[in-house]
Amino acid sequence: MTTHEDALAHVRAILGFIGEDPDREGLVETPARVVRSWQEHFSGYKQDPADCLARTFSEIEGYDQMVLLTGLDIHSHCEHHMVPFVGKAHVAYIPDGKVVGLSKLAKVVEIYSKRLQVQEKLTAQIANAIQSHLQPLGVAVVVQARHFCMCYRGVHQPHAWTTTSKLTGIFLEDNATRSEFLRLITIGQAPASGL
C-alpha cells in the first residue's frame, strides 16, 4: 500500500525527472498540492454507486414515463495519459414502479467520473449501475467530452468532441423511445456550451 509520504516522494521525483528543482521556492509545496488534488480528482474509488441508488421511492402515482437529467458536468481523467477530459452526460431511465432521488443519478455520474477512465467504460458503468440497482424498463446514457490528450498533445485537435452512448431495455428495443430521448437531449443543448 502506497503511503501519503510515498506519494509526496514520487511527485518530487517526477519534478526532477522533467528537469525541475523540487527544492526551489515555487515548487516546495507542489508535491503536497498535487497529492491533495489527486485525492479530490480520484475520490470515486472510495465511493460505491450502490449506496446512493439504494434508497428508492415507490409512491409515484404509477409514473412510467422517462426521467431525464441533461447537462451533467463530467470532469474525469483518461487512464492512458492521466490528463483531463471534460464534458456533459445525459442520463435517462424509465421506472418500473420505483424512482430514485434525482441528485443520486448525478452522484453516480460523479463517482465514476472521479476515477481513471476511458469514456466508453465511463458511459457503460453509469448505465449499468442504474440498470442493476433500479431495475427500470430501460436506461439511456450519452456522454459528450473533449479529451485533453487529443487537444494539446498527440494529434492536436482542440475542437474534437467524442460522443458515446449506452442504451438498455426499452431504449434499445423501441425506436420511438430512443428517438424521444435523443430529441430531448438536443433541445437547447450544444456540446461546446460552458466549456
Would you say 179 and 185 are in contact if contact means Cβ atoms under 8 Å apart? no
Catalytic residue among 81, 135, 151, 180: 81
Task: Note if 52 is an active site residue.
Answer: no
- Amino acid 118 reads V
Alpha helices by DSSP H, listed for the chain, are 4-17, 30-41, 49-53, 102-113, 119-134, 148-151, 170-173, 175-186
Task: Note if 119 is an active site residue.
Answer: yes
Catalytic residue among 47, 135, 149, 151: 149
Q: Of how many residues is the chain composed?
A: 195
Cα-based angle 177, 180, 182 (whole degrees, multiple of 5): 110
DSSP character for 153? S
Gap between the Cα atoms of 98 and 28, Å rounded: 53
Catalytic residue among 4, 39, 80, 173: 80
Catalytic residue among 4, 39, 75, 79: 79
Catalytic residue among 119, 125, 131, 144: 119
108: number of Cβ within 10 Å: 26
Task: Note if 78 is an active site residue.
Answer: yes
Gap between the Cα atoms of 20 and 47, Å rounded: 35
Catalytic residue among 77, 78, 90, 144: 78
Task: Note if 61 is an active site residue.
Answer: no
Task: Note if 149 is an active site residue.
Answer: yes
Catalytic residues: 78-81, 119, 147, 149
